Amino acid sequence: MGIAKTIYARLFVRGREHLGASMDPALSERDAWGILGRVACNLIRGAAWKLRMGQVGGRFFVGKRVSILSPSHISCGQNVKFEDHAEVQGLSTGGVHFGDGVTVGRGASIRPSSYYGGELGEGMTVGARSAIGAYNWIGASGKVTIGSDVMLGPRVIIIPENHNFGATQQTIREQGVTRAAVVIEDDCWIGCNVTILSGVTIGKGSIVAAGAVVNKSLPPGSIAGGVPARVIRNREAA
């Protein structure tokens, strides 16, 4: 094992399984140094941010050009990672909470509340080892709860509110919104470009195919797809 791989293993792998696997033996020493340097820089940025966060239970990794707004409303377990260009806003009635080993992918946005005042959003909780994919957009105005070991693919959208439109004498914009919580239970895999609408619960162990629009709750173990999404089969079916 090269010097860079040895340092990486001692600092970031042994006894810290939430960060991820050790380096591939096929990596060149030059590439290994590059990864080690990048991870170390993210750790340094995270250490600076920890001074402003509500609570951080261990190492915190922050990529380049990450936007963290209202950090005192954000809490993290150990080895949480905010990747480059992510945007995480904590301002909400319930705060934003990330369990051990959560990753917020490159360019993802979490926005419980407006930047310009108005009613506060309800916030968000993410369980251990879950991954919010690159360029996800999560508007946590209504409560969003994501369980443990959940994988959200790239460009997933979660919208826990709907615009009211019943009064034709008013513009839709003037009629406000109705919030309804979104829940994704443990061990789910949500494919790329999936949209999850308000009031939906996706049951434990479910898989949602790429491009689906989920507007109704799915029972545990579902394999679902389509627009709107429907259950194709259940993983536990004989």
Beta bridge partners of 88: 68, 110
* Percent of the chain residues topping a pLDDT of 90: 73
Contact 90, 111 (CB under 8 A): no
What element of type H or E holds 4?
helix 3-8
Checking if the pLDDT of 238 tops 60, the result is no
pLDDT in tens, 207-219: 999 999 999 999 9
- The model's pTM is 0.90
Q: What tokens appear for 90 in the block?
A: 């904590």
Mean pLDDT of 182-189: 98
Class for the domain spanning 56-234: mainly beta
Distances (CA, A) of 54 to 49, 90, 130, 139: 10, 10, 20, 21
- At 189, which helix (H) or strand (E)? strand 189-190
Query: Where along the chain do its domains lie?
Result: 1-51, 56-234
Name the pLDDT band for 133 (thresholds 50, 70, 90). Answer: very high
End-to-end CA distance of the chain: 46
